[in-house]
């Protein structure tokens, strides 16, 4: 399953649970922090960020913010 | 913030020294730069995201290259391709499908390509000299169909 399908599935669950369609969805704070795995600072982190940002925006996310 | 060799800036964009000065940008920093400065137009205007897909998969059916397309406010199409097959390059042919007109379209003219990968990042521990280039690279391509 791709990250796009994961994001799409989560968005659908929120809508199915009653979030009105006209309420925009945003991710207001996200990152991969160093203390979980050093690999997050390496190319894996770059791939994750690109894939996750593209996925969320493709499934109708309105905005996302990287928390530093 | 976390200091020292093996320690990384708290939330992922920077490595710092004992004085909490930034010593190095990490992969998430460069990825964020590419997303916000190159993939999208760095202006406060609406962008339109369109579904995109690739058929590049491994033998188990896992998608190796994912694609995300955006129509920018400067009227340019911008395509984000994420190659998760770390050891291999993959060639792509980009098609834009117009479902209303049942037609395919292609990039034309000059295409700006920007890339970032493991070859452009070298993480150095505190006290060692950073000798590897870092950051993303870019250049103009000429569309074969243009």
Contact A41, A34 (CB under 8 A): yes
pLDDT in tens, B90-119: 999 999 999 999 999 998 888 888 888 876
Nearest to B11 among A53, A55, A67 (CB): A67
If one counts the domains in chain B, the total is: 1
- Cβ-Cβ contacts under 8 Å, A55 against chain B: 66, 68
Rounded-to-integer distance, Cα A67 and Cα B32, Å = 11
Q: Is residue B31 part of a domain?
A: yes
- Predicted ipTM of the assembly: 0.83
Rounded-to-integer distance, Cα A48 and Cα B28, Å = 9
Average pLDDT, chain B: 80
Q: Is residue B135 part of a domain?
A: yes
pLDDT in tens, B22-43: 777 888 888 898 999 999 999 9
Q: Do A46 and B35 touch (CB under 8 A)?
A: no
Rounded-to-integer distance, Cα A21 and Cα A13, Å = 12
Q: Is residue B84 part of a domain?
A: yes
Q: Is residue B76 part of a domain?
A: yes
Pairing of strands B96-98, B103-105: antiparallel
- pLDDT reading at B61 higher than 60: yes
pLDDT in tens, B75-93: 999 999 999 998 888 999 9
Select from B6, B24, B4 the least CA-distant residue to B15.
B24
Q: Is residue B82 part of a domain?
A: yes
Domain coverage including residue B30: 14-142
């Amino acid at each position: 399953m791709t990250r796009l399908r994961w994001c799409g599935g989560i968005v659908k669950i929120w809508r199915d649970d009653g979030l009105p369609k006209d309420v925009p969805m945003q991710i207001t704070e996200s990152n991969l922090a160093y203390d979980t795995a050093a690999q997050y600072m390496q190319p894996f982190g770059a791939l994750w960020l690109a894939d996750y940002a593209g996925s969320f925006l493709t499934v109708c996310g309105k905005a996302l913010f990287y928390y530093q | 913030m976390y200091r020292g060799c093996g320690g990384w800036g708290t939330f992922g964009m920077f490595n710092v020294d004992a004085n909490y000065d930034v010593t190095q940008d990490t992969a998430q920093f460069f990825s964020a730069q590419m997303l916000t400065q190159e993939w999208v137009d760095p202006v406060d205007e609406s962008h339109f995201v369109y579904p995109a897909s690739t058929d590049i998969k491994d033998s188990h059916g896992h998608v190796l290259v994912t694609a995300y397309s955006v129509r920018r406010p400067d009227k340019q199409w911008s395509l984000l391709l994420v190659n998760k097959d770390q050891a291999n390059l993959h060639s792509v042919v980009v098609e834009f499908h117009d479902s209303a007109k049942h037609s395919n379209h292609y990039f034309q003219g000059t295409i700006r390509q920007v890339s970032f990968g493991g070859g452009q990042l070298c993480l150095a521990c505190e006290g060692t000299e950073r000798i590897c280039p870092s950051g993303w690279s870019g250049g103009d391509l000429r569309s074969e169909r243009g």
